Chains A and B, each alone.
Chain A
Amino acid sequence: MKTIEHQKTFEEPGYLKKIFTGTGDFIYFTSRFFKEVLKPPYFLKETIRQCFQIGYKSLPLVAVTAFIIGLVLTLQSRPSLVQFGAESLLPGMISVSIIREIGPVITAIICAGKIGSAIGAELGSMRVTEQIEAMEVSAINPYKYLVVTRVLATTCMIPLLIVFTDAIGLYGSYTAMNIHSDIGLQRFFSEALNHLDFSDILPALIKSIFFGFATGIIGCYKGYNAKGGTESVGRAANAAVVSASLAIFVIDMIVVQITDFL
């Protein structure tokens, strides 16, 4: 029997090449979202289901964290302000801190941990058990059904969770204020909100939309492109959390620079 050798020779790509390839893949994956989001079918039911999973089911965790942060921030800031006789500035200082920075960043980090890892693990598991391929061969666009719905849900729900965090955080601060002094709820919120203006709220809202988008798209990217066996599910979840957390800080820094410039 005649034998013909077909074995080809290949070169292992370098580390730098892998970084560029990965970046290119991620840019393509993200740009595909903007292409697919406008085209039917829209999978509205699945998007609403994801909003429920991502938004409603994160409420308890976000609420507890926000309350504690507002409380602790007030308790720790109070002695310094009392030293300068500026205790009355406390509600304003706390509200600016929470609404401009702490509320959005802490909520986004919690969501990166809870939602980013859940998306990464779920899609990673679907990839390794061939469920994504099954969708593909059934002529159903898995990117649209799995990625677009989840990214839309995180982009809509994380800003809402951040608004919720801000409110609960301020309530935590009000509770802490009442440990050492007696201040009414109406007066506390009146003083807190008097120190805020449009330039405090708008950048926070804008960056929270970017935080939501980044958490969703990174979680989906890591899960959707999971390779190998079950260990890749854990890897995808872990990489989703790490990358999304890092992206949140980078986005925060960029938005702060831009809004300061404006």
Chain B
Amino acid sequence: MKGKMYDYGNVNESQPDESLIVEMKNIHKSFDYVEVLKGVSIRVHKGENLVVLGKSGSGKSVLIKCIVGLVYPDEGEVYVFGNNISELNYRTLNKIRVKIGFLFQSAALYDSMTVRENLAFPLKHHNKKLSNNEVGIVIDEALDNVGLQDAAEKMPSELSGGMSKRIGLARTLILNPEIMLYDEPTTGLDTGTAKEISELIVHLQKKNKISSIIITHDMACAKITADRIVMLKDGMIYAEGKYEELAASEDEWVKSFFS
């Protein structure tokens, strides 16, 4: 096995690192009396694409929700740009959140707004000095980036799954985030569309030079997007390494993902 195997609950300690963008230390989280995360520690560096792999219910989504303060850990610390998320007040947390993009599994488009309004809403909220004309230009550019220039006046209910994901991505990227968090970006999509979305993630990551954490159980997506993979099992890190290293693993559980 070439990928690094972890003992349950281990914390990966090392020296302070300037390029470190996200650091999660020994995260524990429980819901409805079930412990979902059991001492997970993760580090993400600038410009890195980290894929978190695991089966459903392994705590992957909870992990990235801790990064944006949607969920607070019961134990452990989450540092984003050197700030401990649990200790920030709402205002400071929001300043950090502007630098983080989050693509939800369902894309989470506001269903009472058109695509254009969906994109304009966060943009206008955070850039009050922008004129309507300037907002229009930025929106057109964002839609162009995801290849959906013609969808601006559509309602979310008129979009396919793949289109919704692209629009969700455009809405997230419109604020120029420094970190992107993707919660199962290819779930529910056909193989072709899933590949397109995965390639779009890599293309936009390179174009905008952002770090990404991608939560998935889609191996094709992981292969295309991952610089490094962390594998979660029962709320704990089970294995870590590059795609090729983990693909060559002799461990039965790790092999079950790559077979």
Contact = CB atoms under 8 A, between A and B. Distances in A.
Question: Are A and B genuine complex partners?
Answer: yes
Interface of A: 1-4, 6-8, 10, 12, 41, 122, 125-126, 129-131, 133-141
B125 interface: yes
Given A130-B106, A138-B121, A138-B122, 12 more contacts: A1-B5, A4-B8, A129-B106, A129-B111, A130-B105, A130-B108, A131-B108, A131-B110, A136-B70, A137-B102, A138-B98, A139-B94
A3 B109 CA distance: 42
A134 B125 CA distance: 14
Contact of A10 (B30, B39, B104, B112): B30
A107 B121 CA distance: 34
Contacts of B65: 133
B100 interface: yes
A168 B185 CA distance: 54
Interface in B95-126: 95, 97-98, 100, 102, 104-106, 108-112, 121-122, 125-126
Interface residues of B, number: 36
Contacts of B35: 6-8
B13 interface: no
A6 B100 contact: no
Contacts of B126: 139
B7 interface: yes
A193 B39 CA distance: 72
Contacts of B109: 131, 134
A126 B110 CA distance: 8
A66 B92 CA distance: 50
A6 B7 contact: no
A228 to B, nearest CB: 11
Contacts of A12: 33
B28 interface: yes
B7 A4 contact: yes
Interface string B119-149: 0011001100000000000000000000000
7 contacts: A2-B8, A129-B106, A130-B104, A130-B105, A130-B108, A136-B68, A138-B175
A137 B125 contact: no
Given A8-B30, A8-B35, A12-B33, A139 B108 contact: no
Contact of B121 (A2, A130, A140): A140
A125 B122 CA distance: 20
B100 A137 contact: yes
Given A12-B33, A133-B70, A134-B110, A6 B104 contact: no
Contacts of B236: 6
A31 to B, nearest CB: 15
Contacts of A134: 102, 104, 108-110
B8 A3 contact: yes
A12 B32 CA distance: 9
Nearest to A43: B125
A143 B126 CA distance: 17
B125 A138 contact: yes
A171 B105 CA distance: 54
B38 interface: yes
A10 B70 contact: no
B8 A6 contact: yes
The 6 closest A-B pairs by CB, nearest first: A134-B108, A10-B33, A139-B94, A6-B38, A130-B108, A139-B97
A66 to B, nearest CB: 30
A213 B166 CA distance: 39
Interface string B216-237: 0000000000000000000110
A6 B110 contact: no
Interface string B1-35: 00001011100000000000000000010100101
